[in-house]
Structure 1
Amino acid sequence: MKYPIAIWMLAIGAFAIGMTEFVIMGLLPNIARDFDVTVSQAGQLITGYALGVAIGGPIIVMLTIKWNRKYLLLALMGIFILGNVAASFSPSYGFMMTSRIITSLAHGSFFGIGSILAASMVKPERRASAMALMFMGLSMSNILGVPFGTLIGQNFGWPMTFIIISILGAIALIGIIIFVPMQKETEKSSVLNELKILKEKRLWLTLAVTLFGFSSVFAYFTYISTVLIDVSHVQEHLISYLLIIFGIGVTLGNVVGGKLADWDLNKALKMIFIAFIAYFVLLYFIQMNGYLMVVGIFFFGLIGFSMSPSLQFKSTLISKDAPTLASTLNQSAFNLGNALGAFIGGVVVTHLPVASLSLVAPLLTVVGLIFLFISIAVEKREGMTT
């Protein structure tokens, strides 16, 4: 099935943003070494980025609620480029943290607004798949961007990685200027209309499902380099190749997740959550062998990221009057989950054997599953379905 070229342009922006978010995980040992901090402290650069997305996204949506969405996307890509250029010249850990937070301000609003635009360009029965296509850029960044960026960072220094990301951001900016059409405003959004969604308890339940359900992904993935080196005994120069395998799994998971969401949203999420929890237990034993981790990391990406389209689509169904804020808040929930996961992972790495990450991480998804059951029960009681 063909999708409008504008969605592909949004996917390019998603690729660049995904690369800057995820590439740092493969470079944590290098960055920690250069700034003379522990790997756990370097991991807080991920937490800082995630918190910037979570807090900055909704604020930017409220401040720019009357902006044309194309102009807003261009402004967000400008912020993204500026943040990555600053990161490449970071002389200290504090400066690096600041540049990451600046970069993060573009993330939540870009995905929140972009996913709504993608869904609006296709028929209702294909909306989850259209969102999944945009998020495919995020997935592809794991296959191509992250391993390439990790390889560049390990061989030419991590600042070069962020320079390349800045160039990709500029390409995305030009693509949006040329191909994304100027949106026709049929109805002016207002802050008041958007804020009304905050009274909807189904929104808060959905955000809780996203926050806890997805946080287990980052609890483990944030320290994947450490796991591969210390537990799986993989040589450092091979990590970028294993991340390619992970990225392939992420991409397939995104496609499968989109199809499942179009089929039956709540059933899809229940299946994915339960499968993911069970897989973490299996992963505890798989990670002890470097050869098995080639397959293990593939399925980790596939199952973990198959929940993304369903979680994002679920948020857009909560309110027709406030889709921008609901969608952006869901991105905030994703990234608060990322921050929570990175924090929990850091505690485990600091105080427990690294291998135990795969047993602690799924506890977060268990909490997400509980909130999912509560959410479904509320929807049934109110006669609503998603």
Structure 2
Amino acid sequence: MPLALLALAISAFGIGTTEFVMMGLLPNVAGDLGTSVPTAGYLVSAYALGVVIGAPLLTALGSRIPRKRMLVLLMGLFTIGNLASALAPTFGLLVAGRVLAGLPHGAFFGVGAVVAARLVTQGRQARAVATMFLGLTVANIVGVPTATLLGQHLGWRATFLVVAGIGLVAMAALTLLIPQLPRERHEGLGQELRALRDRQVLLGLLTAVFGFAGVFAVYSYLASMMTEVTGFSETSVTLVLALFGIGMTLGALVAGPLTDRALRPTLYGSLAALAAVLVLFDFTVHVKWAALATVVVLGAVGFMTTTPLQMLVMNKAQHAPTLASASNHSAFNLANAGGAWLGGVAIAAGWGWTSPTLVGAVLAVIGLAIAVTAGLLDRGGPGASRLVAAGSERMREAERVG
């Protein structure tokens, strides 16, 4: 694999750390800025809002910027956003800092996935994209727990200063390791927007919204489930989250080669496995060792969906994959927000702490149904296109003869 993928993985590590670390720092932020923990929870939503808005907006604005320069600029904005968060004197400015830090998230992964795919030969593209995503999974194993402990002992501002430092390191790595990639003649905002209207691209984004929402319906309440139902202490929650991160890493490692070999079957299999594991979790959550094992498997099958979904929208967008690729991360964050909301609705309705597992299973099944429908609609698509093209060619030939 090219060394340039390391620069993308380092960047993904920083992005993953700042995305998830806030969940562990909410009490510290609330106490320091004189607000409640539920109110401080808006900081999680603020970052997600930045991702949803920034992915299509920044990708569109940067459609004519060379991809290497675009990656460096996006990581620069990420660094500024985290620095602004660290220095924010009020809660309102911290919210603004979190939105700013989230803006480049989707656009970076969108552009980065296209760059990663172009750095390798045909047949290894999914593995290259999965390698970039490894930075995101390692962040959940190392970055988030370490940054949380740092924030708890030195203050939450220190956490965001360190993340800003990671951003600077990532900018240097991108500058030194990413090659200059020539622009394709057909690249441009108009072509990107037309590609985004493709039925298969839209169905792929919809699959991401529902399928990945199944993961976040449970992940958002995993800490509470482990303490309230399984019987773990609050100090053990960091270990549980790290195990989930290990599962994510395993899923990313497996998803790359499988997606290169058979994209749609990998997507179908991962979504079906996700639904099954979520149903199983409703039973294993009551036994400590079984719950921990299921957390690892849940992280693996949940993250296995990301690489085939990313490659699907890039392949279907073909000549203009950047905006579709970035929009996929907007879909993932909509899944984050929607899954967490639906899981919370189930708990608030009195269905119990384990109810998000069944909610998540239903969402995963809906995602699988959309993916299978898209696959059935896609059958004969390329063949039909070839027949139309051949027919048009014969008509032109007949006109020339006539």
TM-score, L = length of structure 1: 0.92
Match of 2:188 in 1: 190
Match of 1:374 in 2: 373
Aligned CA RMSD, in angstroms, stands at 2.1
* Aligned equivalent of 2:146, options 148, 151, 161: 148
Q: Larger RCO: Structure 1 or Structure 2 (Cα < 8 Å, ≥ 6 residues apart)? A: 1
* Aligned equivalent of 2:112, options 111, 114, 121: 114
1:200-242 Cα distance to aligned partner (Å, 9 max, x none): 1111111101111111111221232222232333222222222
Deviation at 1:35, TM superposition (A): 5.4
Distance in 2 of aligned mates of 1:313 and 1:188: 20
Q: Which amino acid aligns with 2:225?
A: V
Distance in 1 of aligned mates of 2:22 and 2:324: 28
97-106 or 37-46, which deviates more: 37-46
Specify the SS of the correspondent of 1:361: helix
Distance in 2 of aligned mates of 1:290 and 1:56: 40
Distance in 2 of aligned mates of 1:228 and 1:215: 20
Match of 2:300 in 1: 302
Specify the SS of the correspondent of 2:164: helix
Specify the SS of the correspondent of 2:124: helix
Distance 1:237 1:92, change over 3 A: farther
Kept in 2: contact 1:212–1:337 (CA 8 A): yes
Match of 2:390 in 1: none
* Aligned equivalent of 1:158, options 152, 156, 175: 156
Kept in 1: contact 2:51–2:333 (CA 8 A): yes
* Aligned equivalent of 2:65, options 54, 64, 67: 67
153-162 or 303-312, which deviates more: 153-162
Kept in 1: contact 2:72–2:174 (CA 8 A): yes
Match of 1:170 in 2: 168
Deviation at 1:81, TM superposition (A): 0.9
Kept in 1: contact 2:126–2:256 (CA 8 A): yes
Report which of the two structures shows the higher radius of gyration computed on alpha carbons.
2
Kept in 2: contact 1:74–1:177 (CA 8 A): yes
Match of 1:280 in 2: 278
Kept in 1: contact 2:343–2:355 (CA 8 A): no
Match of 1:363 in 2: 362
Distance in 2 of aligned mates of 1:132 and 1:309: 6
Deviation at 1:155, TM superposition (A): 3.0
1:144-189 Cα distance to aligned partner (Å, 9 max, x none): 1112122223333332222221111111111112221222335362
Q: Which amino acid aligns with 2:19?
A: E
116-125 or 86-95, which deviates more: 86-95
Match of 1:246 in 2: 244
Q: Tell me, which stretches of 5 or more residues in structure 2 are unaligned?
A: 385-402
Kept in 2: contact 1:25–1:223 (CA 8 A): no
Kept in 1: contact 2:196–2:317 (CA 8 A): no
Distance in 1 of aligned mates of 2:138 and 2:149: 16
State the percentage of identical aligned residues: 38
Q: Which amino acid aligns with 1:158?
A: W
1:115-147 Cα distance to aligned partner (Å, 9 max, x none): 111100111100011100111111111111112
Specify the SS of the correspondent of 1:147: helix
Q: How many residues are treated as equivalent by the alignment?
A: 383
Specify the SS of the correspondent of 2:354: helix
12-21 or 29-38, which deviates more: 29-38
Deviation at 1:311, TM superposition (A): 0.8
Distance in 2 of aligned mates of 1:91 and 1:237: 30
After TM superposition, the structure 1 = structure 2 runs for residues 84-99 of structure 1, keeping only pairs within 5 Å, are 84-99=82-97
Kept in 2: contact 1:148–1:240 (CA 8 A): no
* Aligned equivalent of 1:230, options 207, 210, 228: 228
226-235 or 144-153, which deviates more: 226-235
Deviation at 1:12, TM superposition (A): 0.5
Q: Tell me, which stretches of 5 or more residues in structure 1 are unaligned?
A: none
Q: Which amino acid aligns with 2:260?
A: D
Match of 1:101 in 2: 99
The answer to whether structure 1 residue 265 and structure 2 residue 297 are counterparts is no
Deviation at 1:285, TM superposition (A): 2.4
Deviation at 1:90, TM superposition (A): 3.8
1:60-102 Cα distance to aligned partner (Å, 9 max, x none): 1111111111111111111111111222234444333221111
Distance in 2 of aligned mates of 1:282 and 1:168: 38
Q: Which amino acid aligns with 1:167?
A: G
1:296-327 Cα distance to aligned partner (Å, 9 max, x none): 22111111111111110111111222111111
Distance in 2 of aligned mates of 1:35 and 1:361: 34
Kept in 2: contact 1:26–1:225 (CA 8 A): no
Kept in 2: contact 1:146–1:243 (CA 8 A): no
Deviation at 1:46, TM superposition (A): 2.7
